[in-house]
Structure 1
Amino acid sequence: MSEVRTTIAELSMRNRAALLAELRGRDRPVRRGLDSAPATFQQRALWFLDRLSPTSTAYNMPVHLRLTGPLDVTALRRAFAAVVRRHDALRTRLTERDGQPQLEVIPDVPHGLRTAEAPDTATALEQAAQLGARPIDLTSAPLWRAKLWRIGPAEHVCTFAGHHAILDGTSLAILWRDLADHYRAEVDVNEAGGPRPVPPITYADFAAWQHDRVTSSAWRRSRRYWLENLHDLPTLALPTDRPRPSAPTGAGGIRTAPVPPETAAAVLRLARTEGTTPFTVHLAAFWLHLGRHANQDDIAVGTATEGRPVAEVAEVLGYFASMVVLRGDLGGTPTFRELVSRAAATTRQALAHADLPWELLVDAVAPDRDLGRSPLFQVGFGAAEQLAPPSFGEVHAEEVHQDLGTARFDLNWTVTLGSSGEVVVEYSTDLYHPATVDTMIESYLELLRSRLSEPDVPTSVTVTKAAEIRVVDDEDDYVAPECPTEHELTEEFAQVLARSGVGTRTNFFRAGGSSLQAAQLIAAIRERFAVELTVLEFFRTPTIGGLAVRIDRRRAARLDDGALVDLIETLSDDEVERLLTVVD
């Protein structure tokens, strides 16, 4: 290694730059013309959630545009078809191979932009909301629906509702921009510029490249960073109006409130003074807000990053966004200015290690899994710029926002930046009343106002430390498998987890199993026992003993009386007694 360092040190600046470009070039995606690839890690996480709740619409992403002016419907339909041809994500579905999700690109989709008549705008928007609220089957392309309602000669509503598995926020902006570009080119052959060049790679190319990076040094560094920073992360203990259900329904609501212009201006001034962004100022206030509600000085929220690590994917439509955890230290009596500095440093470090997909981040930290909570954080936070609607020439476009009635987290808090900003909170109706969320928004805005007026006054979170309690986990006591089903499951556990010493009390997830490995094990159980277990059932009983009971119960239910007698005669008295207890 020392010889290599010496050689590099002796290189000229020009040759050193050429070497660096060559090394970086080896870790960049290239066009391969793929029509299938392993699903990206972002898609795998949604595929797993879809297995948990196949009829959920929490990850639908509908957008509604109100179009006013002389719309050329034929030109819009042709423009939409051109966008579908341009982006392979719009012709993608997810299939399963050996228990693992694969993305598959089809040459063409069975339908495009559909049209309908509506008597008025309210009716059109009501039907548009119904379209966006229908479940989307991830195995059947396309994973979107698009429809145009004609209300009058110069009045239309256009809706595009796609699944998050093929889209994210940046992709939606790309989609509408490309649609507007193609539309203007269709109605005016002299349109300057015309449609943009085709992206250098496809989403399938990115998927293959992403899987090639699993063992990269960059991802290894990010794994170490997140493990070191999150291994002792406490659960956010926000009070709720209702008891937390064992499994969330995904039902939600939205509450909003404007950010006073003087507050927005003060946020911008402090951000400029501190050399940071309005996002970090709002983040510091949000940490403090949560800390006071939860009586904690160690706060974690999740935020979405763009997830586009290389220039080649800047114009590609697909699901790239990934979550990172922003852990806030409210300890001591910091001033608000100091909290902003902490928020800026935390955000910089998180973004520097945001290349690791969320699913691998969770697997690296390996928190206890709980169907009632999202892993690592339960509250999301983000800031969004006010974007101008796409230009359709003489046709004016205005986005119409609607409450989807869904929630992905306990609370998902978004601050729209700018002089006319607002706070938008998506909340779980399993946990909160609307009035409670309104009160939380009001107290946040008041806290933000007061801290901005006195940024150098010490502030603190009053935390009452609970007595430390050591919990002894029953699974620490090894229990050997007894019946044939438990023995066979032990073999499958050991193979998937690549470890020995698993017993009937071994919890799959606490033993290091990931959601993808869970899918592998479910597929292996289906193959070995001819029993179909849902992901939800696996989550509820992730131990060998619990799964053996489920498998034996399914097998017993399939047997007729004669076969049951034949089987019982082959069992020991203890096994018969155990099986009868299960059936009873």
Structure 2
Amino acid sequence: PDGAARVPDTAAPVPVPGDAAPDPGQGDGPARRDDHLAPASCAQQGLWFLDQFDPGQAQYALPLAFRLRGELVLPALRQALDGLVARQASLRTTVLDDDGEPRQQVAPARPVPLVVEDVSTLPEEAREAELRRRLDDEDRRVFDLAEGPLFVAALLKTADQEHVLLLNAHHINFGGWSLGVLVQELSKMYGDAARGNAPCPVPPAMEYTGYAEWEHDWLRGDDCQAQYDYWCRRLEGLTALELPTDRPRPSSVSTDGDAVRFQLSAKLRADIVRMSAEERVTPFMLLLAVFQIVLARTSGQRDIAVGSPMANRPLPETQQLVGYFVNSVVLRIDLSGDVDFSEVLRRVREVALGAYENQNYPFSRLVAQLEPARDSARSPLFQVMFVMQEESWEQADWHGLSVELMGSPATTSMFDVTLSVSMSAHGISGDIRYRTDLFDKSRMERLAADFEHVVERVTRHAGADLTELLA
């Protein structure tokens, strides 16, 4: 579960960790299909079974809020939303119970109901309170996977030249890379419609249902077995990360959460990019190394494993699809020994490249097959997540509108701690989402400060001693 805002997942489309390029050489998939029961992908199966086990949970809602400044052409926005949903079948897909197994059903394209509310006449304080309330409501939205819809839209007019567009999708049909696809297509269709050209969405070469069918075939092949063998070797002897908590860990997992947000300067972003090039790593790898050092400092452990979402789009036809492709991988780093930060980066690079090459093996299937010791108070294999994406969607042309992606409220947390960072031309923004039944905000604020401090230290000197960084 990806995850920027909350959709990281993290992202051209929004890239997922380390700019991992999909493998274009795995052949064509099945042709398009529509309005029938189709297999669910492995990722969808995992979320569907969770929903069956514990229905009515909101942590898999992925709300997006865009602040639109300028002269909005409302009919053009309606046309663009209709065109987007007509082109992207995942946005009109529900997931049904077919004799105990999840199956996808794609509905015919229809106009998207867009509720428009004018709150611009309210006093400023009341207007902001209403906006926060609506954002909180979307963050807590509970979707019915069988009945749908699993994609909804609303528009708030907050001033004469300002609106807030609220979109929300269930994670079962949406992932981090999908944000970039959605913004690029929605902005283009809006621009076309605003210029008087009705959007004419071209059907994609493959729909998500076709990818799910391809995946079921892939699971029976040799490459699938080789990836499973890789993860068995990588995860042998893995122990849980034990971060100090402010309260005893309850007997079952809670999803109540909050977030601490922080900002790294444009100068520090430039230092990160420079050092990454010098050390032959990506910014993702460098920031992952820093985060794992901070976790080691905090926990006292030296074998540190975190989860991270991967793009998992192995077919060229999937690059411009909205859908739940993202797959979690475990990035396990050995921080023992008398070494410097450059050696840590070398270790992280080796681990990350191995994960990229083996990112297609479904995480839910791996958990089921490895059968780790189950603990109802912890998520399996990892309890901490690291997410990074580039905000390349900022270059989208909205026909004169200034568009800002607003941060979503943090009322839920799927893991003990999730660090999300987004790179833009202005710097690096980050947030640490955490479980409030375990941690106080002050502890997470210290974690954010430690992260920035270590980034500053290592970008000044790649030869910094690991022992000193861990002290």
* Pick aligned residue for 2:429 from 416, 422, 427: 422
Q: Is the 8 A contact 2:268 2:427 kept in 1?
A: no
User: How many angstroms does 1:230 deviate by?
Assistant: 0.4
Structure 1 segment 55-66 matched on structure 2, within 5 A = 55-66=56-67
Corresponding position: 1:413 with 2:419: yes
Q: Is the 8 A contact 2:87 2:201 kept in 1?
A: no
* Pick aligned residue for 1:188 from 185, 195, 201: 195
The one-letter code matched in structure 2 to 1:243 is P
Corresponding position: 1:320 with 2:320: no
Which deviations, in whole Å up to 9, do the C-alpha atoms of 1:37-93 show, x marking residues without a partner? Answer: 111111111112222332221111111111122212122112211111111111111
Structure 1 segment 440-451 matched on structure 2, within 5 A = 440-451=447-458
Residue matched to 1:31: 31
The one-letter code matched in structure 2 to 1:354 is Q
Query: Counterpart of 2:67 in 1: which secondary structure?
Result: strand
Residue matched to 1:224: 229
Structure 1 segment 353-392 matched on structure 2, within 5 A = 353-387=358-392, 388=394, 390-392=396-398
User: How many angstroms does 1:270 deviate by?
Assistant: 1.6
The whole-number CA distance in structure 1 between the counterparts of 2:398 and 2:458 is 43
Structure 1 segment 193-342 matched on structure 2, within 5 A = 197-342=202-347
Q: Is the 8 A contact 1:245 1:372 kept in 2?
A: yes
Greater strand fraction, Structure 1 or Structure 2 = 2
Residue matched to 2:50: 49
1:177–1:26: structure 2 CA closer, same or farther, 3 Å change rule? closer
Q: Is the 8 A contact 2:27 2:315 kept in 1?
A: no
1:379–1:26: structure 2 CA closer, same or farther, 3 Å change rule? closer
The whole-number CA distance in structure 2 between the counterparts of 1:224 and 1:46 is 24
Corresponding position: 1:179 with 2:180: no
User: How many angstroms does 1:25 deviate by?
Assistant: 8.1
The whole-number CA distance in structure 2 between the counterparts of 1:377 and 1:33 is 36
The whole-number CA distance in structure 2 between the counterparts of 1:412 and 1:313 is 27
User: How many angstroms does 1:190 deviate by?
Assistant: 6.2
The one-letter code matched in structure 1 to 2:400 is E
Which deviations, in whole Å up to 9, do the C-alpha atoms of 1:306-358 show, x marking residues without a partner? Answer: 11111111111111111111000111111001001111111000000001121
1:264–1:394: structure 2 CA closer, same or farther, 3 Å change rule? closer
Structure 1 segment 542-581 matched on structure 2, within 5 A = none
Residue matched to 2:407: 401
Q: Is the 8 A contact 2:289 2:348 kept in 1?
A: yes
Structure 1 segment 60-209 matched on structure 2, within 5 A = 60-108=61-109, 111-118=112-119, 119-120=121-122, 121-122=127-128, 123-189=130-196, 197-209=202-214
Which deviations, in whole Å up to 9, do the C-alpha atoms of 1:121-162 show, x marking residues without a partner? Answer: 523453243234221111112212211122344222110011
Q: Is the 8 A contact 1:410 1:427 kept in 2?
A: yes
Which deviations, in whole Å up to 9, do the C-alpha atoms of 1:208-243 show, x marking residues without a partner? Answer: 111111111111100000011102111111111111
Q: Is the 8 A contact 1:80 1:112 kept in 2?
A: no
Which is higher, the Rg of structure 1 or of structure 2? 1
Structure 1 segment 486-505 matched on structure 2, within 5 A = none
User: How many angstroms does 1:108 deviate by?
Assistant: 4.2
Q: Is the 8 A contact 2:256 2:437 kept in 1?
A: yes
Q: Which runs of 5+ in 2 are unaligned?
A: 1-23
The whole-number CA distance in structure 1 between the counterparts of 2:439 and 2:53 is 23
Q: Is the 8 A contact 2:257 2:412 kept in 1?
A: yes
Q: TM-score, normalised by structure 2?
A: 0.88
Query: Counterpart of 1:126 in 2: which secondary structure?
Result: helix
Q: Is the 8 A contact 1:302 1:323 kept in 2?
A: yes
Query: Counterpart of 2:239 in 1: which secondary structure?
Result: coil
Q: Percent identity?
A: 30
User: How many angstroms does 1:100 deviate by?
Assistant: 1.3
The whole-number CA distance in structure 1 between the counterparts of 2:399 and 2:40 is 38
The whole-number CA distance in structure 1 between the counterparts of 2:165 and 2:266 is 32
Which deviations, in whole Å up to 9, do the C-alpha atoms of 1:438-467 show, x marking residues without a partner? Answer: 01111222122223333224323899xxxx
Query: Counterpart of 2:430 in 1: which secondary structure?
Result: strand
The whole-number CA distance in structure 2 between the counterparts of 1:161 and 1:25 is 33
Query: Counterpart of 2:467 in 1: which secondary structure?
Result: coil
| Aligned-CA RMSD value | 2.2
Residue matched to 1:435: 442
| Structure ranking higher on relative contact order (CA contacts 8 Å, 6+ apart) | 2
Q: Which runs of 5+ in 1 are unaligned?
A: 1-23, 464-584
1:126–1:270: structure 2 CA closer, same or farther, 3 Å change rule? same
Count of paired positions: 438
Which deviations, in whole Å up to 9, do the C-alpha atoms of 1:1-27 show, x marking residues without a partner? Answer: xxxxxxxxxxxxxxxxxxxxxxx9885
Q: Is the 8 A contact 2:135 2:409 kept in 1?
A: no
Query: Counterpart of 1:421 in 2: which secondary structure?
Result: strand
Residue matched to 1:456: 463
The whole-number CA distance in structure 1 between the counterparts of 2:200 and 2:30 is 22
Which deviations, in whole Å up to 9, do the C-alpha atoms of 1:458-499 show, x marking residues without a partner? Answer: 323899xxxxxxxxxxxxxxxxxxxxxxxxxxxxxxxxxxxx
Residue matched to 1:552: none
The whole-number CA distance in structure 1 between the counterparts of 2:131 and 2:292 is 41
The one-letter code matched in structure 2 to 1:220 is Q
User: How many angstroms does 1:392 deviate by?
Assistant: 1.9
The whole-number CA distance in structure 1 between the counterparts of 2:162 and 2:346 is 49
Residue matched to 1:575: none
Residue matched to 2:19: none
Q: Is the 8 A contact 1:292 1:461 kept in 2?
A: no
The one-letter code matched in structure 1 to 2:414 is R
The whole-number CA distance in structure 2 between the counterparts of 1:344 and 1:304 is 16
The whole-number CA distance in structure 2 between the counterparts of 1:348 and 1:25 is 18
User: How many angstroms does 1:195 deviate by?
Assistant: 5.7
The whole-number CA distance in structure 2 between the counterparts of 1:446 and 1:382 is 19
Q: Is the 8 A contact 1:231 1:365 kept in 2?
A: no
Q: Is the 8 A contact 1:93 1:104 kept in 2?
A: yes
The whole-number CA distance in structure 1 between the counterparts of 2:57 and 2:281 is 38
Q: Is the 8 A contact 2:64 2:167 kept in 1?
A: yes
Q: Is the 8 A contact 2:112 2:153 kept in 1?
A: no
